[in-house]
A and B are shown apart, each in its own frame.
Chain A
Amino acid sequence: MSNELLNSFLDHELLQDKYKILKKDLPNNLKDGLKSENAVINSIAMIVQTIQSDSNITDKALKTKLSQHLNEYSL
C-alpha cells in the first residue's frame, strides 16, 4: 500500500513540470524514495512512510519529524 501511495503521488505532473524530474528517474518504491536526493521526492516518501507506519500520528509529531528531516537537507 505504501508503494502504491508513493507511486500515485510521484505520478503527479508537477514533478516533471516544475521539478524537471524525468519519469525514469522516479523511484519505484518507498525505500528508493527515502534514498532520493530530491527534497520533494524524499519528503513525500518520508510522509508516506511515517503515516503508513503510524496511522494515528498527530499533526504536531509529523511536523516535528518533517522539520528534523528537512533540517538534514540543504533545501
Chain B
Amino acid sequence: MIIKKVTIENFLCYYGIKEFQFSKGLNIILGENGEGKTKFFDAIEWLLNTSNTSNESALISQKALSEASAGESFQVSVKLTCEHEDETVYITRQFRVSKLNVEKSETTKAILDGIKESRTGERDIVDGKQWLDIVFPPEIRRYSMFKGESSLNILKQDASLLNLINLFSDARSYDKYASKIEFLREEAEKEVSENTRINTKKKSEFENLEKQITLAQLKKSQLEEQLDRLEQNTNTTIDLVKEAEKFVVNANALESINKRIDILVDRKQKNDAKIDENYTTSLLDDFWILMHFESIHNEFSKKIQAAEIAKRQIQQEFDISKGETKGRRILQAKLINNSSPLPIGVPNKATMEEMLNDEICKVCNREAKVGTEAYQYMENNLKQFLISLEPEKNVEEDEVLFKNNYLRSLVNMSTNHDTSILRFRSIISEIKEKFEFNKSRDEDSNRFKDQIDNEKLERTKILGNSSLGEERLLDVIKNYNQWQTDIINANRSKVTLDYQYKEASESLESKIEQRDKIGEQSANSYLIKKRDLLKDIEKIFKETKERKFDEFLKKLEDKSNEILAKINVDAFLGKIIFIKKRSASNHTGINVELVQSDGTPFISPNQSLETSMHIAVLFAISDLAAGKKLEEYPLIFDAPTSSFGESKTSTFLNLLHNNTNQKILLLKDFIIKNDDNKLSIKKEFDSVKRNKAFWVRLERPFDNGKLSTINTLVSEI
C-alpha cells in the first residue's frame, strides 16, 4: 500500500483544504515547532484510529469556525488516497460542523467513508472501515506510525518484535501449517487410542495408562505454566534490573556521596566541639589584667623584704633592751649585804603619804625634807608600792613589740604573688597555644566544610544528570539489590522446576510408549501408520517453521547492522543482536539488544544510538519484506531523529532515500530563522536526497493568543 495523497480539511491548524501529494520512497515534511507537523501526524492518526471517539469539536479549525456565519456549516475531514493492488482506495473520516451563533456550534458524529476505484476508473462505494483494514491492516498500522523517538521503544516490548517478524517475514506462512498438522496428529492419535480400546485384550491396562498419561500431561502442563510464569517474572525483573542499571551508577555514587557527607559532617561536629574559646573569659578576666603589674609586684616585694629586715633589727634591739631591763630589775631587787627587804605594804600607803607630808621618816625617826635624798627615797618607795598594788600583767604580752604581724601577711602575699606571677607569665604561651590549636581546628573545620560543599555539589550534579529524584534514586539501589536477589532465587527455583519438568516429561513419554506398544499390538495398522506419518509431518512442519524463522532472524540481524553502520557513520556502533527466547510451553519471544564488539551488553546507549538501533531494525524488516515481494506499507515518523545532529540527520535521510519503501518523515531540522524573524529552508537541505518534500508553516501574521488566526500553509519544496 502506498499513500498517494493526504487531504486535510479544516482540521485543527489546517484551515480550508490542504493537500500532500506523496510518492514512493522518502517524503519529508519540514516545519518549525508549533507550525503544523504534529497536527499532520494527528490527522493521519485520527483517520486510522477508528476506535478513537475523541471529541470532534476539539478537532475543528478555529479559523474556519470563526469565519463561518451563524447558520452556516462546513466539513472537517481527513482523506487518505492510497494505491493498493492496482486499485485506488479513498478513505475519508469526516464530520460536519454547524455554527449556531458566535459562541455555539454543533458537530455530527465522525464517519468513515470508502471509495474503491479500479484501473479503468470505475468507482464503487465501499465500507470505509473494512477497506481501511484491508489496505492498511491494524496489526501493521500499529508498527507503522511513530510519534517521537520514545515511541520507537515499542521494539523493546516482548511480543512486538515477534509480531513484526511474523507480519513481515514468511515465517508466518508456516505458522498455520504447524497448527493444522498438530491438530491432525492429535486426531490420529485419538483414532489409534479408540481403536486400541476396542480391540485390545489388555483393555484395563491400556485404559489405566491413558488415565496416567492424562494425569502426567496435566502435571507437565502445570509445570510448564509454573516455568512460564517464573520466566516471565524473571524477565520482568531482569528488565527492571536493566532499567535500574541506567541509574545504578548514579545511585551508587549518590549513596557513597551521602555516606561521605555524613562522615564529614560527623568529623566536623567533633572537630568543632574541640574548639574551646574559654580563654577569652577565664584567662583574660582573671589573670590577663595582672600581666602588667609584675614591676609593681617586684617593687612591693623588695619593700616587703626591706621592711622585714628592718623589723627583725628592731625586734632584735627590742629583745636586747628587754633582756637588759629584766637583768636590771633582778639586780635592783637585791639589797645591800644581801639583807632581806621589808614585806610589801610595810609601811602602808597611808603611812608613806603621811611621812612624805610630814617630811619625816617615821620608820627611822629622822627628818626628811623635800628635795633631800631621804625624801626622794620615801617618794620612790611610795611609787613602787603603788606599782605593786596594780594587778600583775602578762609578762610575755608586755614584752611583744609588734602586736599585729601585718608584715607576715604582706610577706605571704608577696610569696603568693610570686606563684601567680609564674602562672601568668605562662599565660601568653598558653593563649598562644590555644589560639594555634583553635586556629588549626578552624582550618580543619573549614576544610571539612569545603569537602562537604564539594560533595554536595557533586550530589547536585548527579541529581541533575538523573531523571529521577534523590529519593527514587536511592530506592533504585534498594530495589536493585532486592531484584538481584530475586533473580538468584528465581534461577534456583528454575533449576528445581526444570528437574521436575524433565522427570514429568520422561514419565509421560514412557507411559505413551507403553500405551503405543499396546496400541501397536492391537490397533488397526493403517491407523498406526497414519499416526506415525502425521507425527513425522508434524516434525517436518514445525522444524521447518523454526528454521525459516531463524533464517529470517539472521538476515534481519545482518540487515539491521548494515543499516546501523550507515546511520552511525564514524560513531560508536555496537552490534544489534536478536535473542530468541523459548519458554517451557514453547512460546517464542525475541529481544533486541545492542552489544559491544566483545559481545557484552551495551547497558545505557544514548538516545541517538538507541533511536538508530530501533530505526535500523524497522527499516531492516521493511527491506526484507520488500525483498520478499510482500505487500509494503508506509512508515510515518514524527520527529524520529530529535537526538541526531543535523549532519547525522542528512546522512540518515540520504540512507532512507536509497530504500524505495514509502516513508513519511516529519522533521524540524533545516529550518532557519533569519534576522528579520522570517523562516526559511537552509541551503543544506538541497543536498538531502528525497522523493518529495513539503514545508508546513503558519500563515503570517497571526495572533499568538488567538487560535482563530492560525492557518498552516503547505508548500512543496
A residues in contact (CB < 8 Å) with B: 1, 4-5, 8-9, 11-12, 14-15, 18-19, 39-40, 43-44, 47-48, 51, 55, 59, 62-63, 66, 70, 75
Contact = CB atoms under 8 A, between A and B. Distances in A.
Contact of B543 (A4, A12, A43): A12
A57 B642 CA distance: 48
B539 A59 contact: no
Contact of A70 (B183, B530, B541, B544): B530
B533 interface: yes
Contacts of A12: 539-540, 543-544
B180 A51 contact: yes
Contact of B180 (A9, A14, A62): A62
B533 A40 contact: yes
A63 B183 contact: yes
Given A8-B544, A12-B543, A47-B177, 17 more contacts: A5-B174, A8-B547, A9-B540, A9-B541, A9-B544, A12-B539, A12-B544, A14-B536, A18-B536, A19-B536, A39-B533, A40-B533, A40-B536, A44-B540, A47-B537, A51-B180, A62-B183
Contacts of A4: 170
A14 B548 CA distance: 17
Given A51-B180, A59-B180, A66-B184, A5 B173 contact: yes
Contacts of A47: 177, 180-181, 537
B187 A63 contact: yes
A51 to B, nearest CB: 6
Interface in B168-190: 170, 173-174, 176-177, 180-181, 183-184, 187
A55 B173 CA distance: 10
Contacts of B526: 75
28 contacts: A1-B173, A4-B170, A5-B173, A8-B547, A9-B177, A9-B540, A9-B544, A12-B539, A14-B536, A14-B539, A14-B540, A19-B536, A40-B536, A40-B537, A43-B534, A43-B537, A44-B540, A47-B177, A47-B180, A47-B181, A48-B177, A51-B177, A51-B180, A59-B184, A62-B180, A63-B184, A63-B187, A75-B526
Counting from the closest, the 3 A-B pairs by CB-CB distance are A75-B529, A59-B183, A12-B540
B178 to A, nearest CB: 11
Contacts of A1: 173
Contacts of B544: 8-9, 11-12
B184 A62 contact: yes
Interface of B: 170, 173-174, 176-177, 180-181, 183-184, 187, 526, 529-530, 533-534, 536-537, 539-541, 543-544, 547-548
A8 B548 contact: yes
Given A9-B544, A47-B537, A75 B530 contact: yes
B461 to A, nearest CB: 58
A1 B548 CA distance: 14
Contacts of B180: 47, 51, 59, 62
Nearest to A8: B544
Contacts of A66: 184
Contacts of A9: 177, 540-541, 544
Contacts of A8: 544, 547-548
Contacts of B534: 43
B102 to A, nearest CB: 56
B524 to A, nearest CB: 11
Contacts of B530: 70, 75
A5 B181 CA distance: 14
Contacts of B547: 8
Contacts of A48: 177
